[in-house]
Structure 1
């Protein structure tokens, strides 16, 4: 009987020794509590204060059991929570992913218009004189074939129609008649006295078409009468011209105009000083 008692005692001692030699289980970590509003006390469990049960008012003897650092964490500050919320906000994606479009970029300004080329420097010419309306019509058609628009112009000019050899007016008709008789005695003829006009009482010695013939008569009379004079006589002539305007830098067109003028005898290509 005593042997059985000691046997049970040894078994109990071995059981307690084995039980207390095993590592103590660690409580499962508590869920992290969310931050509470300012001014409200946070709920604290009894075991967070080191109390095992409500009936225990004093801590148990012996060394306090170590509390795992993962059981409870202190609440994070408001600034850290706000930063986490901002980081958790979705980042806007490409156009259309968030239901709203990004502002369209401003269109590029249109390119500056190119500067127009400088206008051509026009050169003005005239072709003529033309003998009649028929010749003017033929030249007009030839210019239109060169894509030139001519303008017909009528002008008047004073042309020499001859030369007059004469003696200036004398004081009276009697003096002019006596002068004629004296020259006739010296071998001159073909003379008569002007009876009216601004040359009244002048002695006409001849009208000549050619200047050479007039000069010969003038020298003949002058040897006898130093007062002898000679002057040209004029008439008014109406002429037709065709005025044209072309690009002064277009040398090929200028050459065509010169060649065209040569096809019409008596027609000259004259450059005008100013375009009208």
Structure 2
């Protein structure tokens, strides 16, 4: 029995030495491949090729490029200086001559100005003038004041009047519809003509307009000679002449 005891002691000492040796062996570092995470595989760092290890390193996310700064807007439409309005044409002609003496291009124009909004009550155009006058007789027989529109966008229509107040136009429209007439109304901008001297925007003083070529003394003297006139600037393309509409 004694030899069995000594054998067990030797075996235990051997196992103890083996466990001590195993615990002192340094653990090897491992890295998880990003591409293989779905497969749950692990690769030892010592087993990877240096080039492969560099390829698997995470790549820094590229920063999005900064948005470009908005370009500064430029005004392409030049401004025209306007002097007026003049009651008499000879007054405007006199101012044009004074400006031309200073080598400033200018001309006298009849400018279409925007007036008060009006409201036109009407019956839509009929197929012909014959139908329009037949409808007019029907309206007049019913005691409705009206007339046939001879030309324009509502030619051969029936007009019931033009009003400066929208309430009156709406009231008449509702009254006519209640009597069986399919009336309606629309906005009609009122315009009128005024005489203005318009200075050309061409020339060396592009930024400030043609008025930069004229000294302040000129404007002061002009105001003394014509106290009722004024001076303003407007976009040249928006200045509507009466001749341009014909």
TM-score class normalised by the smaller sequence: 0.3 to 0.5
TM-score, structure 2 length as denominator?
0.38
> Which structure: larger Rg?
1
The structure, 1 or 2, with the larger RCO (C-alpha pairs under 8 Å, 6+ apart) is: 2
